[in-house]
Structure 1
Amino acid sequence: MPQRIRKLIGTVLLLLLVVFWALSAMAFAQGRVTELGWFLQMICYTLLGAFWIVPAGLLIRWMERPDRKV
């Protein structure tokens, strides 16, 4: 698959990931995290805000992979 097509697909997937992750994190935080103490809330919000970087990084690495030589 050419890099140009991978970048198009990856961009769409990144946008979907961010929207899905934000909605999921908000739903989780609204239901469970509000019952915790302030310190655990801070940890949960930090983790929920940072963990989307892992799948995004893997997706970006896939997008930036060079084309195969034929």
Structure 2
Amino acid sequence: MRTEPTWRIPIGLLALLLALLAYGLVIARYVPEVIGGWPGLLQAGVYLVLGLSWLLPLKRYLRWMETGNWR
């Protein structure tokens, strides 16, 4: 366990927030144009997948923030 603070945690959190903001804006801007005419249940499925897909790279990113290593 580390005893002194590291720059990776605050910078990593800011980068994560900015990336999620950009991702959300892109989804909110372009996805409704593509799937707007689809049935509601299918739209919900697409938004569910898109809403959870940002979690996939999160484990490696959090590990980097904590240890400085991507692996």
TM-score (norm 1): 0.75
TM-score (norm 2): 0.74
CA distance in 2, matches of 1:16, 1:32: 24
Find the residue that maps to 1:54 and give its secondary structure: coil
Find the residue that maps to 2:60 and give its secondary structure: helix
| Bigger helix share | 1
Give aligned-pair identity as a percent.
27
Q: Name which structure has the greater RCO, CA cutoff 8 Å, separation 6+.
A: 1
Could you tell me which residue of structure 1 aligns to residue 23 of structure 2?
Answer: 21
Q: Which runs of 5+ in 1 are unaligned?
A: none
RMSD: 2.3
Q: Which runs of 5+ in 2 are unaligned?
A: none
Detail structure 1 runs of 4+ shifted over 2 Å in the superposition: 55-58
CA distance in 1, matches of 2:5, 2:58: 17
Instruction: Figure out how many residues of one structure are paired with residues of the other and give that number.
Output: 66
